[in-house]
Amino acid sequence: MAMDAKIEGLSPASSRTVRALWWEAAGRGGVREAETPALREGQAFVRTLFTGVSRGTERLVFTGAVPPSEYARMRCPMQEGEFSFPIKYGYCAVGITEGGPPDLIGRPVFALHPHQTGFVADAATLRPLPEGLPPRRAVLAANMETALNAVWDSGAGPGDRIVVVGAGIVGMLTAYLCARLPGADVTLVDVNPDRAQPAAQIGVPFAAPGDVAGAEADVVFHASASAPGLALALACAGFEARVVEMSWHGAAPVPTPLGGAFHSKRLHLMSTQVGQVSPSRRPRWDYARRMAKAMELLRDDRLDALLDTDIAFEDFCARAAEVFAPSAKGLGVVVRY
């Protein structure tokens, strides 16, 4: 087949007009129209149903807080534009394949794509949803992948006492995975008491910060993206425990209390980042296998409790400042198309 030949399923035209969200400057966005390219062999057109908002990372992009040293590493797979602005950014898209390889047409797929009404992508980068995973919940796939990788990095196992500080989406999913370890004693901690209800819905015990200091945990995850949260995580750790820093703070300086008992308790403070498969799994797992497992793990109706805010694509730009405000209410944001 010629490389510029039309592909089965994309009819009547070989290109379509789509709309995409662009951040034009710090705190300011707009919607741009564009024509998708004609499909080439091995490509597919996806009509977007939902995109998820990764509040932590996308807040840094929205506010222009990505440090220059991380511009290259922070690129998402189908990003357009460059840091800091203008830029089209995002990586939690779910849609229906409407053109491309016959075995994909009509199937719901997940893609690491920005907020856009439809897009062309290499078919090999599209992940068909497993049976039993609704498209709306599938926007959590990238977050679940992050949580899964962090649990691998942590070395947490059956019977461990585990504390997760920060009950955002990634913290919730990390606690959810840890709570499924046999005999594990898991506590999710947040300053916002409203997070207790979704935690209960996914089967994770919840506590206020004042209730867990001195918990002597075997493993602590920090996912609050705040200096007080990191201090609490260190205070929760037991002797020679591992503290896994999941938050990405961008260009902001973060005071870290390395005095007190940090050295006498021989604490291990480590980073985790989803850009690489955890070393403990890397010899056998690639990105595709890890993403497939993350989507399988989302086949639990209780996880719908983490997606409590729906916004129409047409309204997202106007509500972005509200969504990314540090004091924003709600938990998980879904953009509807």
pLDDT value, residue 4 = 34
User: Which residue ranges does the chain devote to CATH 3.90.180.10?
Assistant: 17-132+299-336
- Structure-block tokens of residue 282: 């890397």
Tell me the angle at which helices 141-154 and 169-179 cross, rounded to the nearest 10 degrees.
50
pLDDT value, residue 251 = 78
pLDDT (tens, 9 = 90+) of the chain, 337 residues, equals 333 333 344 443 468 999 999 999 999 999 999 999 999 999 999 999 999 999 889 999 999 999 999 999 889 999 999 998 999 999 999 999 999 999 999 999 999 999 999 999 999 999 999 999 999 999 999 999 999 999 999 999 999 999 999 999 999 999 999 999 999 999 999 999 999 999 999 999 999 999 997 899 999 999 999 999 999 999 999 999 999 999 988 878 899 999 999 999 999 999 999 999 999 999 999 999 999 999 999 999 999 999 999 999 999 999 999 999 988 888 999 999 9
Q: Domain 143-271 belongs to what architecture? A: 3-Layer(aba) Sandwich (3.40)
Indicate the length of the chain as a whole number. Answer: 337
Q: Which of 118, 49, 35 is nearest to 336 (CA)?
A: 49
| CB 47 within 8 Å of CB 95 | yes
| CB 47 within 8 Å of CB 107 | no
Residue 273, C-beta contacts closer than 8 angstroms, at least 6 positions apart? 149, 248
pLDDT value, residue 282 = 97
pLDDT value, residue 115 = 98
From CA 109, how far away is CA 49, in angstroms rounded? 10
What pTM did the predictor assign? 0.91
pLDDT value, residue 327 = 83
| CB 99 within 8 Å of CB 121 | no
Q: Does domain 17-132+299-336 have CATH number 3.90.480.20?
A: no
User: Which residue ranges does the chain devote to CATH 3.40.50.720?
Assistant: 143-271
Residue 282, C-beta contacts closer than 8 angstroms, at least 6 positions apart? 276
pLDDT value, residue 112 = 96
Beta pairing, strands 108-111 & 127-128: antiparallel
From CA 54, how far away is CA 324, in angstroms rounded? 10
| CB 92 within 8 Å of CB 142 | yes
DSSP β-bridge partners for residue 49: none
pLDDT value, residue 318 = 95
pLDDT value, residue 248 = 87
**Burial of 318 (C-beta count, 10 Å sphere; 0-12/13-18/19+):** exposed
Residue 162, C-beta contacts closer than 8 angstroms, at least 6 positions apart? 156, 175, 178, 181, 184, 185, 186, 187, 217, 218, 219, 220, 221
